[in-house]
Structure 1
Amino acid sequence: MIELEIQGLSPTREGLLIEVGRFVMAHGFTLQRQRLVQDHHGILLTMVVRGPSRGRKALEAALGAYERFISFQMFPFVDGEPKPHFAASLPRMAYTPPPAPPVAAPAPPPVTASATSPTDTPTKAAASASPDAPEPRQAPAAEPDFEFIQPTPRPPAAAPAAVAATPFVDLVPLGPDEPAVEKMLRALEYDYPKIVPQLLALQQSVAEAARESSLALAGKRTGSWVFRSEYLLDDGLDLREAIERIGVPALHALVEVDQQGTQLHIHDSPLCAQDGHSGCSFFGGFLEGLLGPAIAPGSMSIFPVCCRSYGADACVLELSD
């Protein structure tokens, strides 16, 4: 078994995860994680899949012929070494303005000394002696020197602080928190089907690494209880019939859902927020506990194709026997 990382660039988003997920399943691979990001180049898709090494070339050829991919890359996945998407926009470099020119100090004005002409003395004496004599003309005042004033340059704008990227941490999954699940299901017969607040509280009360397993256990026990309460006489069905007669009506009591073959599309799931925290494990466990007793002898597997918490339009579960 090998793990591969698929990176693709597509101009449109709608249904992209579902279609690529079908390619993955058709070639014997299972989806480990997924991510869908809006970029000004287009939609950036990242998937980590696991499957047989012999199916790599066939999967690569199928994705290469996929008409919605502008381009894609596939390479071995190395845990703990996240790779940037090949089509992601590069961050813009911060502009650093040139240094301001030095400010020239204004030149001091010249000092003008008043010189006394030797001929002024007899004139002043004559003026003082003769009161009828006209007053002497005064020399015009010297004009002040023009002072150049340079504008003070504005200080350069501070460069924006670099935002440190948050590293991706892959949590080691833990088993379910059974006491928390038991507490949540204590009043199930009175609360059902209005159990979304209890499920949200369960998500917050358990450890992050135990969240999916706890939701799956809560879903399985809830589904088993619903089957015993409402569908106990419906058994020996094939998968499609069980989905249509039991799965869809039971899920309708909790969320908006529609059936497309062996796929269930869950719209606006309240358990799947837009932050990468998927609650689809509850619905997978719910269907396992609900449909398992109704299907004719055989096994049933539930594969989460995509989730709205990772950017998909709806949460899609693929059921197979």
Structure 2
Amino acid sequence: MIELEIQTLSETREGLLIEVGRLVMSSGFTLQRQRLVQDHHGVLMTMVVRGPWLKRRALEASLDANERIISFRTAKFEEGAPKPHFAASRPMAGPAVVAVSAAAIKTERPPVPTAVADEGEAAEPAATQVISAEPEPQQEPEFVFMVPRAQPPAPVPAEATPFVDLIPLGPDMEAVEKVLPKLTNDYPHILSRLLALEGSVAEAARDSSLFLAGQRTGVWVFERDFALDAGLALDEAIERVGVPALRALVEVENQGEQLHIRNSPLCLDGGHSRCQFFSGYLDGLLGRAIASKSLSIFAVCCRSCGADECVLAISD
């Protein structure tokens, strides 16, 4: 057997003791004592019950299911001073009053000095010595002078570089002729040679010089590897000549009359477009392979301009 102390919090007290008492008895416990207290939180009830310890959880489940009980706590009952209810209002401590006893202040009047007269002379009235208490000079406050820090000069705004629309120039023939032997010797590893060519010519002649270098390289590759593939239709020439030759330099995918160049090492994100080299390269290859002598190649989009890949459109 076990004795439990049950503390509950409810809103109203009418019939509360009878209802909870029946609940306790139906759970196999007997009521030993109880106490009801009205608090501004609600009705606080404390009960001491006795019953089998195996039915404690069943009793707690019944208390939890009762709608009149807002909350409750159960604990093993201990003899002695009653435990404070868990929901009881806590008394607020008032301000501490400290009694201060005033000490009696005794003021003693200083004795008045008397003058002692010499023999034969009348005693002169005592002279009262007046001591004037001058106020002590107050110390002047110390002033702390703050030296303002010099403000740094405002940054000079950088002058915006004006946009200049370059007039395209023709290819730099001398620079292209100089680099061609190096392109054929290093082919297909010609990236560094093309970048050197771009840096050696005027900016306005950059695209035309790259196109010419690509065209001359394409003619050289066709004569070396595809000389027997001549007189073809455009789509056949792209499939049999253009794509295999271009794959020696970059990763390319054929989509009809468009070639998609992926991850071009010449066209970097945010850099200059160098698709003119690939356009000239295909012009030199396909111009010799197709039966029609009219060929048009232009860049639809470029990786350096923000596109995912470079796309070249080809038509005759």
Tell me which interval the TM-score lies in, with the shorter structure as reference length: 0.5 to 0.7
Q: Kindly report which structure 2 residues correspond to 1:224-303, keeping only aligned pairs within 5 A, or say none.
A: 224-274=219-269, 276-303=271-298
Q: Could you list the per-position Cα deviations for residues 192-224 of structure 1 after superposition, in whole angstroms to 9, with x for gaps in the alignment?
A: 111111111111111211111111111111101
CA distance in 1, matches of 2:311, 2:205: 22
Q: What letter corresponds to residue 284 of structure 1 in structure 2?
A: S
| Aligned counterpart in structure 1 of residue 304 of structure 2, from 301, 306, 309 | 309
CA distance in 2, matches of 1:153, 1:209: 54
Count, aligned residues: 190
For the pair 1:217 / 2:220, whether they are aligned, the reply is no
Change (3 A) 1:146 1:312: same
* Shift in Å, 1:307: 1.8
* Shift in Å, 1:287: 0.2
Structure of higher RCO (CA pairs closer than 8 Å, 6+ residues apart): 1
Q: What letter corresponds to residue 241 of structure 2 in structure 1?
A: I
Q: What letter corresponds to residue 315 of structure 2 in structure 1?
A: S
Matched residue SS, 1:313: coil
* Shift in Å, 1:317: 1.0
Change (3 A) 1:168 1:275: farther
2:196 alignment counterpart: 201
> Which consecutive unaligned segments of at least 5 residues does structure 1 have?
1-135
Q: What letter corresponds to residue 224 of structure 2 in structure 1?
A: S
Q: What letter corresponds to residue 176 of structure 2 in structure 1?
A: V
Q: Could you list the per-position Cα deviations for residues 13-67 of structure 1 after superposition, in whole angstroms to 9, with x for gaps in the alignment?
A: xxxxxxxxxxxxxxxxxxxxxxxxxxxxxxxxxxxxxxxxxxxxxxxxxxxxxxx
TM-score, scaled to structure 1:
0.52
* Shift in Å, 1:273: 4.2
Change (3 A) 1:157 1:260: farther
Q: What letter corresponds to residue 244 of structure 2 in structure 1?
A: P
Q: Percent identity?
A: 61
CA RMSD of aligned residues (A): 3.1
* Shift in Å, 1:228: 0.9
Q: Could you list the per-position Cα deviations for residues 80-137 of structure 1 after superposition, in whole angstroms to 9, with x for gaps in the alignment?
A: xxxxxxxxxxxxxxxxxxxxxxxxxxxxxxxxxxxxxxxxxxxxxxxxxxxxxxxx89
CA distance in 2, matches of 1:216, 1:228: 18
TM-score, scaled to structure 2:
0.53
| Aligned counterpart in structure 1 of residue 187 of structure 2, from 183, 187, 192 | 192
1:76 alignment counterpart: none
* Shift in Å, 1:310: 2.3
* Shift in Å, 1:253: 0.9
Query: Which structure has the greater CA radius of gyration?
Result: 2
> Which consecutive unaligned segments of at least 5 residues does structure 2 have?
1-130
